[in-house]
A = this chain, B = another copy of it.
């Protein structure tokens, strides 16, 4: 039924080994026989069985990718970089969606192991000591994107410096005359990112002598609705807080917050400045378009693949361990109002 390498071999009047050679090392085979074999392959519409091959060479040229959720808008941006780097090194990708569940993520590792992936990229979510036991025995290189390892096992990780990035956001707002700056940070079990971003905010508020107050802070699940709800909460406190700007831990929450403000008859940026985090495609689609912090998703994706390939090819060395911070950048669009009369440039100077 299924046509195998042996069928091709007999049709072409050669051995299976020869067919295998024309498939994998065509330069080693006589042009004339090669022709015959290729003709047979075509005639029979033969397609080599990747599993049989993988089993034989015990290599799959596949890397596994564990992601929190395919619906997270940032994921597709990251994927582009991963896909690019993989296809350049002709690696295949095996995707596993953990659906934001730690349990599923663990299942993912099992799944990928069974499928003999050469390496695993783990995305988002905190990687803490709970994973140590896993990584110790797994025997497969692992690299991290958009997260970092806090457990004992050091792992190459690529992300932006969340603390610094939010610090920069606050500095940016301060430079534009804002003082009463609120924060909508991220939350979810297993998440350290939200904490780091909050810490950046806290440090900056202290650094600029504004002072840190919990009443300026709420949190959400990084999604639109979470941002909306968090903004609503902030609005309740607004009579006391008198915020003029909000920084958020994600573009989606920023956009949710904008919608909330809109529903309360408030205008962005005239009544309230808003600043996002991620620079997703949607950031430039909304009106007003969203000023935000760009994470270099594509580059992160590329780097994490490279790091993995390096570990795959030289498993002995331990070249790249620990966290690599990739450069972030504030993308100026339309959601931040400058409260100064002086130029923002001058002010910026003052801040650093």
Contacts and interface: CB of A to CB of B under 8 A. Distances in A.
Contact of A51 (B115, B137, B139, B281): B115
A286 to B, nearest CB: 6
Nearest to A255: B285
Q: Report the copy number of this chain in the oligomer.
A: 2
A17 interface: no
Contact of A285 (B55, B77, B256): B256
A19 interface: no
Contact of A93 (B75, B95, B256, B287): B95
B45 A51 contact: no
Interface residues of A, number: 48
Q: Chain A binding site: helix, strand, loop or mixed by DSSP? A: helix
Nearest to A252: B285
Interface in A47-92: 47-52, 54-55, 58, 60, 70-71, 73, 75-77, 79-80, 83, 92
Given A45-B137, A95-B95, A281-B224, A116 B51 contact: yes
A110 interface: yes
Contact of A71 (B70, B76, B97): B76
Q: Which 8 A-B pairs have the closest CB atoms?
A: A50-B114, A51-B51, A47-B113, A51-B54, A50-B115, A51-B55, A71-B76, A45-B137
